[in-house]
Amino acid sequence: MANDKVQQVSDAEFEVKIGSAQPSLVDFWAPWCGPCKAIGPVVEDLANEYDGKVNIYKMNVDDNPVTPGKFGIRAIPTLILFKGGEIVDQITGAVGKAQLVSLIKKAL
């Protein structure tokens, strides 16, 4: 991963990382998913812009099937915004940066 501000998160550590008071945006993705690759650079930009304000995570759904199943994720990319471990909102599909910024602002 080129951007060290975007962290990988696994099923095992998900609850702990997402439970923090700071908002967390989780990008559920897979390496074979074209739209996931398209939205990747946008997610990295957001990690730079919101560094210190929002935690940005990526979860590979192939390697971590438990968490996506828990949240009923059927399509990727799906980005879910959490605050204090609770879902604030989510977006499915390769959306533009403006939509993701407005998503993040809901938790700030």
Token pair, residue 2, equals 């080129």
- Fill in the amino acid letter for 78: T
Q: Is 89 an annotated catalytic residue?
A: no
Question: Each residue of 35-91: pLDDT tens digit?
Answer: 999 999 999 999 999 999 999 999 999 999 999 999 999 999 999 999 999 999 999
All domains in the chain, ordered by first residue? 6-105 (3.40.30.10)
CA dihedral of 80, 81, 83, 87, whole degrees rounded to 10? -40
Residue 92: how many other CB atoms lie within 10 Å: 15
Which residue among 33, 46, 54, 76 is the active-site one?
A: 33
Q: Is 4 an annotated catalytic residue?
A: no
Q: Tell me: pLDDT of 3 over 80.
A: no
Q: Tell me: pLDDT of 1 over 60.
A: no
Token pair, residue 99, equals 């939509």
Q: Are 28 and 68 in contact (CB under 8 A)?
A: yes
pLDDT band at 21 (very low <50, low <70, confident <90, very high): confident
Which residue among 36, 39, 61, 80 is the active-site one?
A: 36
Residue 104: how many other CB atoms lie within 10 Å: 21
